[in-house]
């Protein structure tokens, strides 16, 4: 247990931030800055198309499922934890992490479009055919499948059950209800999962952001000061005349990048798996970038500004800090509002990660593995509601991070291919 905790700390706080940054820069150079350069056009072609009467329903389902997996409780408590441990400056580095993440998911989905084959798609496809490796796709699929069962299922089920328990529901009952709802949705396959996500995510995201904007508007006089806190803290700048602290700068940067990675999950390889069911595989690079934008640059920023513009709090943990910030405007209704958001975000994450884990299980064992994985997922959803063994979360956190290692290695090896792959060219329309 001790060595696993130590490895997790090394992996998430040092190895992955460095590898993700280097890989994103290399990919960004090869992609000529896309999608960060020309972001307005990307958002117009993605979000703009959702508002069209002729919107592609299948693409809408894929986008909603992928966004459901990306957005989760990390957008709420995770952002509060970043502000508490890294200061306001951590928000700036979360923004930088999001820009790097957009470069990474763009590269992942470009490669997935190029190496897509019948029977194998997503991350496993470019790990297998891009490097002609048999070991890397197996290693990635095993880690990703375990991460889906752990961080995507057990941890989220625990969040749902603990939140429901705070409203008076027994933990076993919460586990049964969660598993039953999952069974009802998962039994309908990818189409039903996408349909539920396409209905749930706009309401959930829209409702949460409206609540955030309302609280920010109530404390709008504190908004300029909040942005000044973010900019000063990002570079270790203390109060006027006190100079610059290198330790504060490094702590803020590391915390912001790490929390950003936890939030948008770019570079882990999950993005290409979540988009592999789309008919137009070549366009998914832009949709993936739009998801990172929504997750971190919109949702996490809104949460951070609610916290930074609210009256000072003496909270001792991230959940308490978040509740205090929302209570400053919503009063006694803050607990209900946050509780509903937490449960729905956690459940949506379970739906999104199921598609990722099922895809990895089928890549390893064929389509006959789908019902077996579904049964394991439902069992884990019930078990997660009953307890929180620390070693399970530590192990699953490790698996989540380990998926990034083969993915980032492959992105670096195939960076020259990315320059040749144009996402909207005829050669990429598979």
pLDDT per residue as tens digits for the range 87-101:
888 899 999 999 999
Q: How confident is the model at residue 270 (pLDDT cuts 50, 70, 90)?
A: confident
Q: Contact 406/412 with Cβ under 8 angstroms? A: no
Q: Is the pLDDT score of 86 beyond 90?
A: no
Across 25-39, 115-129, 230-244, 408-422, least confident range = 230-244
Average pLDDT, the chain: 85
Helix (H, G, I), strand (E, B) or coil at 244: strand
The pLDDT value given to residue 95: 92
Q: Is the pLDDT score of 239 beyond 70?
A: no
The pLDDT value given to residue 195: 85
Take residue 223 and report the two structure tokens written for it: 């908004």
**Distances, alpha carbon 263 to alpha carbons 118, 191, 297, in Å:** 32, 26, 11
Q: Is the pLDDT score of 332 beyond 80?
A: yes
| DSSP conformation letters of 55-97 | --HHHHHHHHHHHHHHSSGGGTHHHHHHHHHH-THHHHHHHHH
**CB neighbour list of residue 102: distance below 8 Å, 6 or more residues apart:** 35, 36, 39, 266, 289, 292, 293
Q: How confident is the model at residue 374 (pLDDT cuts 50, 70, 90)?
A: very high
Quote the Cα angle for 265-157-285, to 5°: 25
Residue 279 backbone dihedrals phi, psi, to 5 degrees: -65, -45
Q: Is the pLDDT score of 247 beyond 90?
A: no
The pLDDT value given to residue 417: 66
| DSSP conformation letters of 151-191 | IIIIHHHHHHHHHHHHTT--HHHHHHHHHHHHHHHHTTHHH
Q: How confident is the model at residue 418 (pLDDT cuts 50, 70, 90)?
A: low
The pLDDT value given to residue 215: 93
Kindly report the pTM of this predicted structure: 0.88
**Distances, alpha carbon 308 to alpha carbons 239, 301, 320, in Å:** 17, 10, 14
Mean pLDDT of 215-234: 90
Q: How confident is the model at residue 427 (pLDDT cuts 50, 70, 90)?
A: very low
The pLDDT value given to residue 428: 40
Percent of the chain with pLDDT over 90: 30
**Distances, alpha carbon 63 to alpha carbons 53, 110, 126, 214, 400, in Å:** 17, 16, 21, 27, 21
Calpha distance 299→164 (Å, rounded): 23
Q: How confident is the model at residue 73 (pLDDT cuts 50, 70, 90)?
A: confident
* Highest mean pLDDT (candidates 6-10, 213-217, 237-241, 401-405): 213-217
The pLDDT value given to residue 240: 46
pLDDT per residue as tens digits for the range 161-217:
888 988 889 989 999 999 999 999 998 887 888 888 888 888 888 999 999 999 999
Q: Is the pLDDT score of 242 beyond 70?
A: no
Distance of CA 268 to the CA centre of its chain: 10
Q: How confident is the model at residue 420 (pLDDT cuts 50, 70, 90)?
A: low
Mean pLDDT of 376-404: 82
Q: Does domain 2-109+142-416 have CATH number 1.10.4160?
A: yes
CA atoms lying within 13 Å on the CB side of residue 171 = 12
The pLDDT value given to residue 388: 63
First and final C-alpha spacing in the chain: 46
Q: Contact 222/308 with Cβ under 8 angstroms? A: yes
Helix (H, G, I), strand (E, B) or coil at 120: strand
The pLDDT value given to residue 245: 66
Q: How confident is the model at residue 241 (pLDDT cuts 50, 70, 90)?
A: very low
**CB neighbour list of residue 390: distance below 8 Å, 6 or more residues apart:** none
């Amino acid at each position: 247990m001790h060595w696993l905790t130590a490895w997790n700390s090394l992996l998430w706080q040092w190895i992955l931030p460095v590898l993700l940054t280097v890989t994103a820069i290399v990919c960004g150079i090869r992609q000529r800055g896309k999608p960060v350069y020309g972001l307005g056009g990307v958002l117009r072609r993605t979000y703009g198309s959702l508002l069209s009467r002729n919107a592609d329903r299948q693409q809408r389902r894929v986008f909603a499922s992928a966004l459901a997996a990306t957005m989760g409780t990390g957008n709420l408590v995770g952002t509060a934890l970043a502000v508490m441990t890294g200061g306001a400056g951590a928000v700036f580095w979360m923004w930088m992490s999001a820009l790097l993440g957009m470069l990474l998911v763009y590269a992942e989905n470009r490669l997935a479009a190029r190496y897509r084959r019948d029977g194998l798609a997503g991350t496993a496809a470019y790990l297998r055919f891009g490097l002609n490796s048999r070991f890397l796709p197996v290693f990635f699929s095993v880690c990703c499948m375990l991460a889906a069962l752990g961080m995507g299922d057990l941890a989220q089920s625990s969040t749902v059950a603990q939140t429901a328990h705070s409203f008076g529901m027994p933990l076993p009952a919460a586990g049964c209800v969660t598993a039953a709802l999952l069974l009802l949705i998962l039994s309908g396959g990818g189409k039903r999962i996408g349909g539920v996500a396409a209905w749930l995510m706009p309401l959930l995201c829209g409702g949460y952001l409206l609540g955030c904007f309302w609280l920010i508007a109530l404390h709008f006089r504190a908004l300029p000061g909040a942005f000044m806190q973010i900019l000063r803290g990002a570079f270790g700048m203390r109060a006027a005349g006190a100079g610059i602290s290198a330790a504060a700068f490094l702590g803020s940067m590391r915390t912001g990048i790490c929390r950003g990675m936890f939030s948008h999950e770019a570079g882990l390889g999950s993005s290409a798996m979540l988009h592999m069911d789309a008919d137009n595989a070549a366009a998914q690079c832009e949709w993936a970038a739009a998801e990172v934008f929504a997750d971190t640059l919109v949702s996490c920023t809104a949460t951070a500004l609610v916290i930074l513009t609210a009256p000072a709090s003496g909270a001792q943990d991230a959940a308490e800090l978040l509740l205090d910030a929302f209570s400053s405007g919503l009063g006694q209704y803050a607990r209900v509002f946050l509780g509903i958001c937490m449960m729905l975000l956690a459940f949506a994450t379970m739906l999104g990660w199921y598609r990722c884990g099922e895809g990895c299980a089928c890549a390893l064992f064929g389509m006959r593995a789908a019902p077996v994985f579904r049964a394991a997922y439902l069992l884990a959803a019930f078990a997660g509601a009953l307890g929180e063994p620390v070693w399970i979360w530590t192990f699953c956190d490790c698996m989540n991070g380990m998926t990034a290692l083969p993915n980032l290695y492959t992105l670096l090896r195939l960076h020259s291919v990315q320059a040749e792959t144009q996402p909207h060219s005829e050669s990429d329309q598979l």
